[in-house]
Amino acid sequence: LAWCRHGFAPASSVWRDLLGARSWQTDMLIGSALHQHRLLVTKKEKRPPRSQLSPVKTKKEVEVWVGMTVEDLASAMAKDIDCVYEALLNTAIDVDSLEANSHLDEVWIKEVIKKAGMKLKWSKLKQERIRENKDAVRRPGTDPALLKPRSPVVTVMGHVDHGKTTLLDKLRETQVAAMEVGGITQHIGAFLVSLPSGEKITFLDTPGHAAFSAMRARGAQVTDIVVLVVAADDGVMKQTVESIQHAKDAEVPIILAINKCDKTDADPEKVKKELLAYDVVCEEYGGDVQAVHVSALTGDNLMALAEATIALAEILELKADPTGPVEGTVIESFTDKGRGPVTTAIIQRGTLRKGSILVAGKSWAKVRLIFDENGKILNEAYPSMPVGIIGWRDLPSAGDEILEVESEPRAREVIEWRKSEQKEEKGKDDLKIMEEKRREHQEAHRKAREKYGSLHWKERSYIKFLERKQQRPLKPKEKVERQSNVLPIIIKGDVDGSVEAILNLLDTYDASHECELELVHFGLGDISENDVTFAETFDGVIYGFNVEAGSAIQQSAAQKGVKIKLHKIIYHLIEDLQEELSSRLPHTLEEYPIGEASILATFTVTEGKKKIPVAGCRVQKGQLERHKKFKLIRNGQVIWKGSLTSLKHHKDDISVIKTGMDCGLSLDEEKVEFKPGDQVICYEENKVPTKTSWDPGF
Ligand SMILES: Nc1nc2c(ncn2[C@@H]2O[C@H](COP(=O)(O)OP(=O)(O)OP(=O)(O)O)[C@@H](O)[C@H]2O)c(=O)[nH]1
């Protein structure tokens, strides 16, 4: 009791400090000290620890932060992790569910610190800092006096095979024809069509709504007008309706191109009528949708389509400010072997020049070269112009917003900021997921706990440890079965947009219960040795879209047993994938009936000591074959399936019995009782390939 003896001496430093404190504190502390003294006098053996006598002086300060883990807290307290668990016993939190890396809510952090007799201090460093926004953003609205008319940007959409590609090709051809001889067209994801009047239209040449949706998903509103292609012989189909919906969602007006009008069974009026049901009302029906009858194949009336587009653009009064820093959108991006990362883009504001500093997504560029779809080098590019841009440090993605900034250091700053933002967001998401997992875990434990009744948590943990130990790992056979139902794939494409469109389609995959589809790798460019090695490792299949596989690569793939499948049409690639998936499914057995008999009488025969039930039947259809499969049907229900042990005509064993003849038969299952009126079916089983149930929506 040495500490107690000197604890009450006023001369001691403890008391000097305490008496110097504010009066309410003093009263409280003296009160507490007296209470402690009473306790000591009456219950000496249960004396409280010394620290309780002088809390202000000795309370250890612990630096804590929101979202810290059990481990973090233990180490901040300089204690063993068990101390945290012990402190949380008999609280609402389920201690069993806490792992060393579980995150603790504020309330539990406080609880632990309180129980440990320590003092908490919220960490300034680890608390969220409000950071200055260093991002680059679009400029605010322009002075209307600076706005100049610009050409419309058009996307062609419609149902599969209705002629989108043919239409774009024909429009591009007219452009190429108008071009100087010897010019080389470049695929830049968009091209300009010039009309004799001098007007221009920019066509995005990635047909289909996948690319359109991908852009919109990133908030990039690039398209001013949708040209909806509907084949006059086919009429409105599933993807016609989807395209209308996409245009409506994006509030983009439609021009109707009724295609294939050269065909004898073309019925353009029917198409217009059908479209009324989808709120696409053509001018003849009192609406404002222009309809042009065209033939993409012959090129007939394409000029009228272009003129209708210009007329609509005039109504829309499309304008942009061609001055000041550039704003635009990435249409496609790819790596060129000689020139490095290349993006194709639509300029939406300002004027792009060589030397401009751009940021897009998490990449930046000092523009080295600007070129158009004819490969012609440009000095400047204005709003609505589609251009190729070289000079990127990394590859931005389709749909990324392009913004010009004042300098390279500023571009670096923006990219740094975006990267750190992404990291932070990811961190927050991870935290949320972990918290969610922890809750689930906790709930599961709460339920499991009921099973363990009132056992001490340590006992419970031990029992659970034993249970876990008893759980055997997956048996090798199960592993093999699982692996055989996985299709690992590698996707390679020519441009960002096409890979994205394919990945979007893969997102619709919903048949994992039949076969898991595992995307192990995707990227841009021709098939490489790396891809082959990857595919070999995963036992996967390589799908290439608009890319090549050199002969050396093909040879290497053949040696390694790796399939490379190259396609130029996305839906062919997807069909191929469906076939590949189907080929991984077990065959289904289909029954083909050979004959049918009805049971007229039943009796038993004695063979040695055994009594064997026999059915006397008449063959009603086809024939019964002794060595084929049989089933017995009563009141429409199959009550037995198997083989015969005997088939007799009178006293003779026979192998086949035909329609109209009587026979006696017995089954390989003696317990089955026959009844007059039952049917006996003789059938064959054939293996039929199963088809994947995945419907990507074509
Ligand atoms: N007779 C006739 N055939 C056409 C016309 N336009 C396209 N076709 C044919 O229709 C088929 C499909 O044309 P595509 O241009 O590939 O159709 P698409 O809409 O681009 O098809 P996907 O790219 O698969 O969505 C091809 O065989 C074309 O030759 C047309 O105006 N008249």
* pLDDT score of 171: 85
Q: Which residue has the higher pLDDT, 145 or 8?
A: 145
Q: What is the band of 6 on the pLDDT scale with cuts at 50, 70, 90? A: very low
Q: What is the DSSP letter of 545?
A: E
**Most trustworthy range by pLDDT among 129-133, 167-171, 281-285:** 281-285
Q: Is the pLDDT confidence value at 41 over 50?
A: no
The DSSP-derived string for 49-105 is PGGGTSHHHHPPEEEE-TT-BHHHHHHHHTS-HHHHHHHTTTSSS-GGG--TT-B--
* C-beta 207 within 6 A of ligand 1: yes
Residue bearing tokens 């434990």: 445
Tell me the CA–centroid distance for residue 573 and ligand 1, in Å. 18
- Which pLDDT tens digit goes with each residue over 533-581? 888 877 889 999 999 999 999 999 999 999 999 998 888 899 999 999 9
Tell me the CA–centroid distance for residue 163 and ligand 1, in Å. 3
Residue identifier of the C-alpha nearest atom 1 of ligand 1: 260
Residue identifier of the C-alpha nearest atom 9 of ligand 1: 163
Tell me the CA–centroid distance for residue 292 and ligand 1, in Å. 17
* C-beta 209 within 6 A of ligand 1: no
For the ranges 111-120, 350-359, 491-500, which has the lowest average pLDDT?
Answer: 491-500
- Closest approach atom of ligand 1 to CA 239: 25
For the ranges 303-307, 435-439, 602-606, 633-637, which has the lowest average pLDDT?
Answer: 435-439
Q: Which residues, 6 or more positions from 605, have their beta carbon under 8 angstroms from its beta carbon?
A: 611, 612, 614, 666
The dihedral sign for the CA sequence 478, 481, 485, 486: positive
The C-alpha atoms of residue 489 and residue 479 are separated, in whole angstroms, by 19
| CA-based nearest residue to 61, from 14, 122, 127, 111 | 122
Residues 511 and 694: beta-carbon distance below 8 Å: yes
Tokens of residue 171, six digits: 């429009």
- The mean pLDDT of 315-331, rounded to a whole number, is 92
* C-beta 259 within 6 A of ligand 1: yes
Mutate to test the pocket of ligand 1, among 156, 157, 165, 171 (most ligand atoms within 8 A of CB): 165
Residue 667, SS3? strand
Tokens of residue 539, six digits: 């036992």
First to last CA, the chain: 87
Tell me the CA–centroid distance for residue 230 and ligand 1, in Å. 10
Tokens of residue 219, six digits: 């908030």
Q: Is the pLDDT confidence value at 43 over 50?
A: no
Q: What is the band of 288 on the pLDDT scale with cuts at 50, 70, 90? A: very high
Tell me the CA–centroid distance for residue 231 and ligand 1, in Å. 9
For the ranges 37-51, 138-152, 165-179, 538-552, which has the lowest average pLDDT?
Answer: 37-51
Q: What is the band of 124 on the pLDDT scale with cuts at 50, 70, 90? A: low
* pLDDT score of 441: 55
- The mean pLDDT of 419-429, rounded to a whole number, is 76
The half-sphere exposure of 119 on its side-chain side, counting CA atoms within 13 A, is 9
β-pairing, 610-625 with 662-667?
antiparallel
Mutate to test the pocket of ligand 1, among 155, 161, 574 (most ligand atoms within 8 A of CB): 161
- Which pLDDT tens digit goes with each residue over 241-279? 988 988 898 889 999 999 999 999 999 999 999 999 999
The half-sphere exposure of 294 on its side-chain side, counting CA atoms within 13 A, is 31
Residues 681 and 633: beta-carbon distance below 8 Å: yes
The C-alpha atoms of residue 429 and residue 304 are separated, in whole angstroms, by 52
The C-alpha atoms of residue 88 and residue 271 are separated, in whole angstroms, by 71
Q: How confident is the prediction for the chain on average, in pLDDT? A: 80
* C-beta 243 within 6 A of ligand 1: no
User: What's the predicted TM-score (pTM) here?
Assistant: 0.52
* C-beta 162 within 6 A of ligand 1: yes
Tell me the CA–centroid distance for residue 156 and ligand 1, in Å. 13
- The mean pLDDT of 656-668, rounded to a whole number, is 92
Residues 253 and 313: beta-carbon distance below 8 Å: no
Mutate to test the pocket of ligand 1, among 297, 502, 505, 567 (most ligand atoms within 8 A of CB): 297
- Closest approach atom of ligand 1 to CA 160: 25
* C-beta 572 within 6 A of ligand 1: no
ipTM above 0.90, yes or no: yes
For the ranges 9-13, 82-86, 399-403, 651-655, which has the lowest average pLDDT?
Answer: 9-13
* pLDDT score of 28: 43
- Closest approach atom of ligand 1 to CA 571: 24
